[in-house]
Amino acid sequence: MGNLTNQENWAAHERLRMVELCLWWRGWVGRSDLIEWFRISMAQASSDLQKYIEINEEGILYQTKRKRYEATADFKPHLATPNLDEAVAVLLGANVSMAASRSDSSEASGGQWAVLQMPMRRVDLDVARRVMMALLAGKKITVEYLSLSSGIKGPRVLHPSAMAWDGHRWHLRAWCEQRSAWRDFVLGRIQSASWPELAGQKLPEDEAWNTWEDLKLQINPMLDEGKKESLKLDYGLNSDVLEMRVRQAFKRYWLAEMHLHEEGDPIVPHFVIPKASS
């Protein structure tokens, strides 16, 4: 009785989800997989597999010659939506998010996978800690901030309201007392931060943060039909138009990710390739 698999139990549910992951991405699963990953007994592994057969009877069959359970051609997941990053991590031993944070590219690659190494964006952990404490407690902090747009370094009194990730770096969304406006601050450009203090100030609504925009991009009409079809396949499009919903405050960063900018708001490249010396 002790080996019966209760799907409502969190640990059992995770084991069943792993069975499904293997069947979906690899096409098969064995008792040894569960024993190795979860350090459970052979009897418990057998019980887990029998439980999954009950859940997805039409999608799994046992191959006696290979002594393993295999997915049928019409297998469909029942417990979770398939996630490619998770599959790469589990089945290829590649923790992509961890590997991407390593500075040594030789460590961040394997025989069947690789990570494109990008320059690291630094974040001072003590600064990040104080920012997070102020954000969670609704307090304010005084920071020393070096602005890229103005090139000026100076103190700012900030009222943090949210954190945001643009795919490359962390931003702090905060009310700036010096500018009397809601602004974005790149976390890595904050050189120091005070201990959080009581705010005692009612702030206006952050309209740009709370407003969502439906953005539309068109595939470059200068491209030939073959290239257009390639992009439509790449982005899963049924037409030449790509539509996304983004916060108004993040519109500029989203466009930058697509190598675009709005008229009157050019984005100056941070780096250039130096000319070869003669």
Six-digit token pair at 156? Answer: 């700012």
Domain boundary residue, one of 186, 206, 226: 206
Six-digit token pair at 126? Answer: 């003590």
Residues 229 and 243 grouped into a single domain: yes
Residues 199 and 218 grouped into a single domain: no
Q: What is the pLDDT of residues 47-58, one digit of tens each?
A: 999 999 999 988
Q: What is the pLDDT of residues 266-277, one digit of tens each?
A: 666 666 666 776
Q: Could you tell me if residue 165 is inside a domain? A: yes
Q: β-pairing, 141-146 with 28-29?
A: unpaired
Residue 135: name the closest of 103, 160, 108 by CA. 160
- At 8, the pLDDT band (50, 70, 90 cuts) reads confident
Whether 1 has a pLDDT exceeding 50, the answer reads: no
Give me the chain's average pLDDT, please.
86
Residues 129 and 185 grouped into a single domain: yes
Tell me the pTM.
0.70
Residues 184 and 219 grouped into a single domain: no
> Residue range 150-176: average pLDDT?
89
Whether 107 has a pLDDT exceeding 80, the answer reads: no
The burial class, CB within 10 Å (0-12 / 13-18 / 19+), for 131 is buried
Whether 101 has a pLDDT exceeding 60, the answer reads: no
Residues 129 and 190 grouped into a single domain: yes
Whether 89 has a pLDDT exceeding 70, the answer reads: yes
Residues 25 and 46 grouped into a single domain: yes
Q: What residues contact 270, with CB distance under 8 A and at least 6 apart?
A: none
Residues 143 and 181 grouped into a single domain: yes
CATH number at 201 reads 2.30.30
Q: Could you tell me if residue 82 is inside a domain? A: no
Domain boundary residue, one of 29, 52, 71: 71
Q: Could you tell me if residue 104 is inside a domain? A: no
- For the chain, the domain total comes to 3
Residues 132 and 158 grouped into a single domain: yes
Whether 103 has a pLDDT exceeding 50, the answer reads: no
Q: What is the pLDDT of residues 21-80, one digit of tens each?
A: 999 999 999 999 999 999 999 999 999 999 999 999 889 999 999 999 999 988 999 999
Q: Could you tell me if residue 49 is inside a domain? A: yes
Q: Could you tell me if residue 107 is inside a domain? A: no
Q: What is the spatial order of strands in the sheet that 28-29 belongs to?
A: 28-29, 68-71, 60-63
Q: Could you tell me if residue 2 is inside a domain? A: no
Q: What is the spatial order of strands in the sheet that 141-146 belongs to?
A: 181-186, 170-176, 153-165, 141-146, 190-193
Whether 224 has a pLDDT exceeding 90, the answer reads: yes
Determine the residue type at 44.
Q
Domain extent at residue 168: 125-206
Domain boundary residue, one of 173, 206, 239: 206
Q: What pLDDT, on a 0 to 100 scale, did the predictor assign at position 7?
A: 67
Whether 264 has a pLDDT exceeding 60, the answer reads: yes
User: Is residue 199 a contact partner of residue 157, using CB atoms and an 8 Å limit?
Assistant: no
Q: What pLDDT, on a 0 to 100 scale, did the predictor assign at position 100?
A: 46
Q: What pLDDT, on a 0 to 100 scale, did the predictor assign at position 105?
A: 47
Residues 228 and 198 grouped into a single domain: no
Residues 55 and 15 grouped into a single domain: yes
Q: Could you tell me if residue 248 is inside a domain? A: yes
Q: What pLDDT, on a 0 to 100 scale, did the predictor assign at position 3?
A: 64
Whether 108 has a pLDDT exceeding 60, the answer reads: no
